[in-house]
Amino acid sequence: MWVAVILVVVSSCLIYYFATKKSKSVWKKNGVHQVSGGGFMDQFLVFIGKKTMMDIDDVKYNMLEKSGEKYCGFVDLVGNCLLVKDLEILKKILIKDFDYFVDRRPFFSGTREPLMQKMLFSLLGDEWKGVRTSLTPTFTTGKIRRMMSSFNQVGHTWVKHFNKKIDESSSSSAKINIQKETIHYTVDVIASSVFGMNAGTIDDPKSVFARMTLRLQELSMWKLVKFGISMNFPWLTDFLRLEIVDNQAMVFFRDLMVQGLSSRMSGESKRNDFIQLIAEARRGELKDDDELNDFEKDAQIKGGPGTKKNYLNDDILAQAQLIGFFFAGFSTTSNVIAWAAYVLAVHQDVQEKLRKELDEKLFKDTKNDDIDYDQLNEHVYLDMFLSEVLRKYPPLGRLERMCAKDYHDPETGLKISKGSVVVIPVQGIHNDTRYYEHPDKFYPEHFTPEKKSERNSYTYLPFGHGPRNCIGMRFALVEVKSAIAHLVKNFKVEPTEKTPIPMKERPVGLGVQIPDNLELKISRRNK
């Protein structure tokens, strides 16, 4: 470990020194003001959990706010970066001129695990376009509606689990570690909807599936360091033969995927899960059956080389997308649900208003505890509440796009050199008083239908925007809404004497995580 750390420190210092000198000439040539920040010391503070990347971005965002400039250049450990604050320029980068900004910065280019390299968010260029095009029909409304039984089954198990905890307590309520409880919920949802199996994590947190999931998702300090090495120095990852993910866990999930795909391709079994959808896509049977809203129309890929080929016929690519669903749908979603539960606990007025809406609409038929997909998506206040949770606690507080070829915008005069990384400061935009009147407060009224219609859509980016947005957005929203609905219908959520108010977030790289030991209290609601 120490050999790797020393090599990283020395390499970082040398690369940063020479990159800074080169960057100054590049940005000066392009007429872009360069600022400091984002270099070795900032990255080191991110590695040790003292800062997030958004803290670094916020300094630049506020600097631009004062100067009135639309963007600024800087250099990080990899090279040239441009932080863009102007919404119209962001629209060009994310949609209008997307062909110049197809790629993200490579995440796992240095890893020796092929499934990590071939996950959708790791892919580049035409290969990304082809896989994204093949996968898009798996996330339509109709396909996710087919999985609603999985959400309901896990939701009912979650409710029974909480009732059991209350029964076993010495009072009429139970104290819970909300992060652990939401992790167990999302693991069971993912197990059912991706692999078509009942993991039983809610009832047995020490099950094999649960243990392998936690091994795969563990974020130790050393793992964060290895991830940083892979991202910034892929050659060093290969040289030191560093394993970024747990090999035993990876083998476990790979075997599940291989067995599942083989069974579905042969027609031996059929379930409403993502393995089934991948099998149908490989056979050319999957169709896009949706009418698209404006956000989804912006996400469409406009042709391009490679998009006619069915990339999912490649075994590694198909398996990689399933493991990618698992990665993307686990930790980020459980974190959002935990934040939602915390907000409900400390804002009782919001909880009561949400409960009233759910009782009057979704749970009007008291004899049926199942949640209907279409009804779930017709709740105005639930949408307002969740949108505000995602504004204050976005899964990713910054987005990145890599410039694929030299770019010039004649309208603004902006020039970006090939290989530069465009940084989109999601956290800064989400907390800008020009767009949100009370950015420091939890205020669902930011998202009334009237306010949303008046506001530029690029002021809200929890799932990104354009063709490279989060492909699983619909699935994630249904998963979170279902969890919230089951929780609010059956229980009252409150803080305990140990619940921090206000919250002290736990910085982790590109986001803020709910604290590991956050305690909340649940009791059966008075109906």
As annotated, the binding site for heme includes: 470
Question: Would you give the end-to-end CA distance of the chain in angstroms?
Answer: 57
Pairing of strands 421-424, 80-84: parallel
Contact by Cβ (8 Å): 508, 49:
yes
| 3-class secondary structure, 82 | strand
Residues comprising the chain, all counted = 527
| 3-class secondary structure, 12 | helix
| 3-class secondary structure, 209 | helix
| 3-class secondary structure, 245 | coil
Instruction: Name the β-bridge partners of 423.
Output: 83, 400
Beta strands, E only, 158-293 = 173-177
Q: How far apart are CA 527 and CA 509, in angstroms?
A: 42
| 3-class secondary structure, 522 | strand
Contact by Cβ (8 Å): 502, 354:
no
Q: How far apart are CA 62 and CA 431, in angstroms?
A: 11
Q: How far apart are CA 161 and CA 507, in angstroms?
A: 30
Contact by Cβ (8 Å): 47, 224:
yes
Q: How far apart are CA 382 and CA 401, in angstroms?
A: 32
**What tokens appear for 467 in the block?**
């063709």
Binding site per annotation, positions: 470
**What tokens appear for 31 in the block?**
């007429």
User: What Rg do the C-alpha atoms of the chain give, in angstroms?
Assistant: 23
| 3-class secondary structure, 175 | strand
Side-chain-side CA neighbours of residue 272 (13 Å): 12
Place of tokens 């934040």: 339
Contact by Cβ (8 Å): 480, 386:
yes
Query: Which residues, including other chains, have CB under 8 Å from residue 209's CB and lie 6 or more apart?
Result: 187, 191, 197, 199, 200, 201
**Where would I find the H helices in 293-378?**
294-298, 315-346, 348-360, 373-376
Q: What is the residue type of 66?
A: K
Instruction: Report in angstroms the alpha-carbon separations of 526 from 363, 489, 490, 493.
Output: 15, 10, 9, 12
